[in-house]
Amino acid sequence: DIQMTQSPSTLSASVGDRVTITCRASQTINSWLAWYQHKPGKAPNLLIYKASTLGSGVPSRFSGSGSGTEFTLTINNLQPDDFATYFCHHYDSYPYTFGQGTKLEIK
């Protein structure tokens, strides 16, 4: 199985900050990576797919980059609504796997 290592596990930041979350794959997944935002009691929301393509309706302050084994999610100008859990998900080959998640907290 391809292992996804996501860091950090927790991130404290303030409104207006820029933050970066990283996912590393144990072997190449080309660009078959998605990022999601998840809030308690809600369905995970697709932010980025194919490593860098913005999902429908997702604000442009979210961006993704990377290919191969190293990927990043960047959130510019953090807004109060952005404090949530974020996770990465590879869909290169079966079995799909996920990062362990990053909880973004208000500092």
Partner 1 sequence: QVQLQESGPGLLKPSETLSLTCTVSGGSISPYYWNWVRQPPGKRLEWIGSMYYSGNTYYNPSLESRVAMSVDTSKNQFSLTLASVSASDTAVYYCTRRSGHPDYWGLGTLVTVSS
Residues 53-72 that bind partner 1 (CB under 8 A): 55
Binding residue for partner 1, selected from 11, 21, 29, 49, defined by CB under 8 A: 49
Bridge partners, residue 68, by sequence: none
Q: Check binding of 80 to partner 1 (CB under 8 A).
A: no
Candidates 11-19, 44-52, 65-73, 75-83 — which segment interacts with partner 1 by CB under 8 A? 44-52
Residues 11-40 that bind partner 1 (CB under 8 A): 32, 34, 36
Cα–Cα distances (Å) from 4 to 9, 37, 76, 101, in that order, read 13, 17, 24, 10
Write down the least CB distance from residue 63 to partner 1, Å: 16
Strands (E), the chain: 4-7, 10-13, 19-25, 33-38, 45-49, 53-54, 62-67, 70-75, 85-90, 97-98, 102-106
The residues binding partner 1 (CB under 8 A) are 32, 34, 36, 41-46, 49-50, 55, 87, 89, 91, 94-101
